[in-house]
Amino acid sequence: MAIIFKMGAQSKSAEEWKIFKCKMNRRSGACDEMQIGFAAPDTADSLNVGDAFEMIEDGTRRFAGTIAKLPRKYSGKYERAELVAKNPWSDLESIVFQQDWMKSDGVELSTIKRSKVVLGQSADGQKIGVGGQLREILEYAILCGANISIGEISLDAPMLLDEAKDLSCSEAIARVLKWAPDNIIYFDYSAQGAPSINIKRRGALAAKTLATNSGQIRDVSITPREDLRISGVSVKYETENTAEDNTWLDVVEDKYPVDFNSTSKNALVMSVELAGSKAFCQSHKIVCETIQPNSVSWWRKRVPVLKENEGFSIVSSGRDDSSLPRELVSGSISSRMNFKTETDRVYATIRYIDENGSISTREIAVRLVATNASTGTYDIWTASQYAEPIPQGLAKAIYDAANQLLFDGQIKVEGGKSEDFMGFSVNVQSEENPDWASMNSAVVSCEEDVFKSMLKIKFGPPKHLYPDNIAELFRISRPRKVPQDAGSRSSGKVGSSRVQLDGLAPDTNGAQGDSKYSRMVIEGDIETHGSIDLNSDSLSTEEKIAIREILLCKDGKLAKAKVLMTDPVFLEDGQ
Amino acid sequence: MIEPFTFLSPLPSPLQTEEPDSGSIGPLTLKECVEIFWLLKGLRVSANLYTYHSVKFEEDDEPYFEEEFSAQISGAQTASCICEHEPYRRANKSGVFFHGECEGDGVVDFSIRGPFMVSEAGAENIPFGERKFMFAPEIEFSCGSLVVSSSGDYFNPGYVRVGNFPYEVLGKTFSLNAFIPKDLAETDANTTFRYSANASIFFEFHE
């Protein structure tokens, strides 16, 4: 037996390292550890916590990890140096799992990492099962520097969306595996490179059979766990939906076996809350009126200067862009109201007399929203969050995982190696206990004394992961938190900000063209002042009043001035 | 100081056109014409004239014919003329622009008519402001055979101009002329004709 230990940059045999003790402890879903003791403490002086550690036996790597602790022990005049190495599961314990979430700055979406995670959901918002979620966690850990590779992940049970914050990758894996409790996690160190992590269902493990009379087995302790068998699984999905101020509860039961009565003993009954739908109602109250460009009263309402003018008439009128019959006077029309809307410009040429008698011809126009809608109140429902879909087959998956009779126990095997049993299930041939031959109980941990070639394997439900009594099994879904904004992960929109308003609002922006006066009366305070009356009717068609320069006498001297006057016309005789 | 006023035309009535003569007060610009019309306050005329005319043959001891005249004349405007009125009132007045009477040896009327536009070729194409204007004085004093007149070129053809008396209006110089009969200008040995004259006109304007 040639054992080589690589520690840091040094690779030496066990003898050269002066190692007198070497124990390996491997556990499903926890850190594999190796403890070694140095007979000469100074040989450990050159080692540091964090150094790479490998154990190679007869050319096969049996353990790989990093040095986690270097304890020193004193007993009287003796000093011992020890070393504890941990496998890369410790990396999973030291990396906080984060997911990519979309973040919106109002214009563009960008990706950010958040330690608030929604398990059971992919980055694009789709539901994923246990296997998919485990891969995402492991890939993230590798990306963050975990020294592992992904081996075989052969379980793909459905799971529910589960929101959590600030989980380490190992905690996230454990949380996901609650939905597949019959799992086994183990590392394979034999290949070069990073150790590979494997996660399998108990039923998928190859079986190894040990015979009590082989002379290899020292101690056997096996307990059938009838107490952990369940009679059936009933998953009651409760969905609380909200629409405006109304909230109602939907309950859908998924049970397995189909004829199972959830009121029976050892029935695993779970009430699972699903994220419900949330919808908001927008009531759009709109007022519409018929567009009448030829109507004096219609224009009078829209052009303030004409409001109280009784003496105007419409010379011509028209519309620019639309033939829709009505205009939106108040409210807004959303695109989801299924009405047509168009912005339009209605124009007219009017002739009117203002309050002081000026007669003007003027282009007026009003910009408005034309529509085929009618006055009324219209409700539009907007979903701010869609209901979490009910997973298929969860009751069966849990039933399959928890229905089998489990055998809980341990065996001491002389000359056994941990890798021969980790990732396997065991059967024990015993004349006294024939049931053991087909128990297929998964190995959950191995404690190996390498130098003494003694292996203690434990099988059955892993106590550090699996409920040790039926009551704990009922609590699978208790720590689960229903995500309230799972949709925001891929959209960048939080639920409360998803009420979207669109559509056209009324636009009564009246535009008035230039006035074309035919008579202008300038008038101030008529009690104290006169007025200026410029009436084009007093001119013939050839006449035009303009500012002209004339010569005149000012204070007896010649002067010039500019006056508003017609072009002088010579008088003929008799005029 | 006159009372300020503005009249919407340089002159209050359409102007007639007249042929100028060397005794005219002109040609004037419109500006000068306007100032004379609106601002002439008055004018004073004075003249001293003397003539001696005798005929004596050699064989006679006494002149066959002998006469001697002298005249002293001074005058000013009468109340009937336009320029007698305050400037701002002149637009409403009609009549002769200036009329005066002289006192002294005989009563003599004199006047200044106008204003007129000077008759000139192509006048229809000349803007009003660029036309030429004039006043026509009608002043004439006589003493024996001596005549002092504002007439110039077209005075009686039997007379010859023997002198002139310049006067200034708005910086321009015009003149009165002295005339005597042609036959006295070229007398024979038996005839004696002596004369002397001075005359002046002073135009006074409102400030």
The candidate with the shortest Cα–Cα distance to B177, out of B195, B168, B164, B160, is B164
Please say whether the beta carbons of B190 and B57 come within 8 A: yes
- Looking at residue A84, what is its pLDDT? 93
Domain chopping of chain A, boundaries? 3-87, 232-269+389-396, 282-380+502-513
CA atoms within 13 A on the CB side of A56: 14
Q: What is the pTM of this model?
A: 0.51
- Looking at residue A498, what is its pLDDT? 42
What lies within 8 Å, CB to CB, of A525 at 6+ separation is none
Report residue A483: phi and psi, to 5°: -70, 135
Largest Cα span, chain B: 75
- Local structure of residue A153 (DSSP, 8 states): E
- Looking at residue A488, what is its pLDDT? 65
What lies within 8 Å, CB to CB, of A349 at 6+ separation is A314, A315, A316, A317, A361, A362, A363, A364
Residue with tokens 């010379």: A315
Residue type, A450: V
Q: What is the DSSP string of A271-296?
A: EEEEPPPEEEEEEEEEEEEE--TT-H
Would you tell me which residues 113-132 of chain B have a C-beta closer than 8 angstroms to some C-beta of chain A? Answer: 128-129
Picking from B2, B10, B87, the nearest residue to A558 by CB comes out as B10
CA dist., res. A382 & res. A497, Å (int) = 12
Chain B nearest-CA residue for A556: B38
The candidate with the shortest Cα–Cα distance to A510, out of A376, A310, A313, A327, is A327
Where is A93: in which H helix or E strand? helix A89-94
In the three-class reduction of DSSP (H, G, I as helix; E, B as strand; rest coil), residue A446 is classed as strand
Start-to-end C-alpha separation, chain B: 6
Please say whether the beta carbons of A83 and A38 come within 8 A: yes
Question: Judging by DSSP bridges, how do beta strands A196-201 and A183-188 pair with one another?
Answer: antiparallel
- Looking at residue A87, what is its pLDDT? 92
- Looking at residue B157, what is its pLDDT? 85
Please say whether the beta carbons of A278 and A488 come within 8 A: no
CA dist., res. B203 & res. B42, Å (int) = 6
The candidate with the shortest Cα–Cα distance to A64, out of A51, A46, A77, A75, is A51
Picking from A552, A556, A559, the nearest residue to B206 by CB comes out as A556
Class of residue A207 by CB neighbours under 10 A (exposed 0-12, middle 13-18, buried 19+): middle
Residue with tokens 């059967």: A427
- Looking at residue A492, what is its pLDDT? 61
Cβ contacts (< 8 Å) between A558 and chain B: which residues?
A: 10, 30-31, 34-35
CB contact under 8 A, A556 and B6: no
Residue with tokens 């550890």: A33
pLDDT tens track of chain A, all 575 residues? 688 999 988 999 988 888 888 999 999 888 999 999 988 888 888 889 999 999 999 889 999 999 999 888 777 777 788 999 999 999 999 999 998 887 777 667 788 888 888 888 887 778 888 899 999 999 999 999 999 999 999 877 788 788 888 899 999 998 888 888 788 899 999 988 899 999 988 888 899 898 888 888 888 888 888 777 788 888 888 877 777 677 778 888 888 888 888 788 778 887 777 766 667 777 888 899 999 999 888 888 888 777 777 778 898 999 987 889 999 988 888 877 888 888 889 999 888 777 667 777 888 888 888 999 999 888 877 766 666 677 777 788 778 777 777 788 889 988 888 988 999 998 988 888 888 888 888 898 999 999 888 999 998 876 655 555 455 555 555 566 666 666 666 666 554 444 445 555 665 555 555 567 788 888 777 788 888 888 888 899 888 888 988 889 888 888 889 998 888 887 776 55
Query: Cα-atom radius of gyration of chain B, to the nearest Å?
Result: 20
On whether ipTM exceeds 0.85, the answer is: no
Question: Judging by DSSP bridges, how do beta strands A232-243 and A278-290 pair with one another?
Answer: parallel
- Local structure of residue A36 (DSSP, 8 states): E
Please say whether the beta carbons of A495 and A484 come within 8 A: yes
Please say whether the beta carbons of B97 and B114 come within 8 A: yes
Best residue of B2, B7, B88 to probe chain A, by most A CBs closer than 10 Å? B7
Please say whether the beta carbons of B182 and B22 come within 8 A: no
Whether the CB of A565 is below 8 Å from some CB of chain B: the reply is no
CA dist., res. A323 & res. B95, Å (int) = 79
What lies within 8 Å, CB to CB, of A541 at 6+ separation is none
How does A430-459 read in b/e, with b if 16+ C-beta sit within 10 Å? beeeeebeebbbbbbbbbbebeeebbbbbb
Rounded (10°) angle between helices A169-177 and A130-143: 170
Chain A nearest-CA residue for B87: A556
Report residue A104: phi and psi, to 5°: -110, 130
Cβ contacts (< 8 Å) between B7 and chain A: which residues?
A: 552-554
- Looking at residue A509, what is its pLDDT? 55
Class of residue A368 by CB neighbours under 10 A (exposed 0-12, middle 13-18, buried 19+): buried
Question: How many other C-beta atoms lie within 10 A of the C-beta of residue A565?
Answer: 13
Sign of CA dihedral A108, A114, A118, A119: positive
CA dist., res. A70 & res. A573, Å (int) = 136
Question: How many other C-beta atoms lie within 10 A of the C-beta of residue A519?
Answer: 17
- Looking at residue A230, what is its pLDDT? 81
- Looking at residue A502, what is its pLDDT? 52
pLDDT tens track of chain B, all 207 residues? 888 888 988 998 888 999 988 889 989 999 999 999 999 999 899 999 999 999 998 888 888 999 999 999 888 888 888 888 999 889 888 888 889 888 876 668 889 999 999 998 888 899 888 999 999 999 988 898 999 999 887 678 889 999 999 999 999 999 999 999 998 988 888 999 999 999 999 999 998
Residue with tokens 């109280």: A308
Picking from B38, B128, B129, the nearest residue to A553 by CB comes out as B38
What lies within 8 Å, CB to CB, of A38 at 6+ separation is A17, A18, A19, A20, A44, A80, A81, A82, A83
CB contact under 8 A, B10 and A556: no
Topology, domain A3-87? Phage tail proteins - horseshoe like beta roll fold (2.30.300)
- Looking at residue B160, what is its pLDDT? 92
Which tokens sit at A305? 């200067």
Best residue of A548, A550, A551, A570 to probe chain B, by most B CBs closer than 10 Å? A551
Best residue of B2, B6, B124, B128 to probe chain A, by most A CBs closer than 10 Å? B6
Which tokens sit at A72? 């020193």
- Local structure of residue A386 (DSSP, 8 states): P
CB contact under 8 A, B9 and A559: no
Question: Judging by DSSP bridges, how do beta strands B146-149 and B159-169 pair with one another?
Answer: unpaired
Question: Judging by DSSP bridges, how do beta strands A60-69 and A441-449 pair with one another?
Answer: unpaired
Whether the CB of B7 is below 8 Å from some CB of chain A: the reply is yes
CA dist., res. A136 & res. A155, Å (int) = 14
Domain chopping of chain B, boundaries? 43-111+137-199
- Looking at residue A512, what is its pLDDT? 57
Would you tell me which residues 493-552 of chain A have a C-beta closer than 8 angstroms to some C-beta of chain B? Answer: 550-552
In sequence order, what are the beta bridge partners of A375?
Answer: none
CA dist., res. A308 & res. A299, Å (int) = 11
The candidate with the shortest Cα–Cα distance to A458, out of A444, A477, A439, is A444
Best residue of B38, B86, B204 to probe chain A, by most A CBs closer than 10 Å? B38
Picking from B9, B128, B206, the nearest residue to A553 by CB comes out as B9
Cβ contacts (< 8 Å) between B129 and chain A: which residues?
A: 551
Cβ contacts (< 8 Å) between A554 and chain B: which residues?
A: 5-7
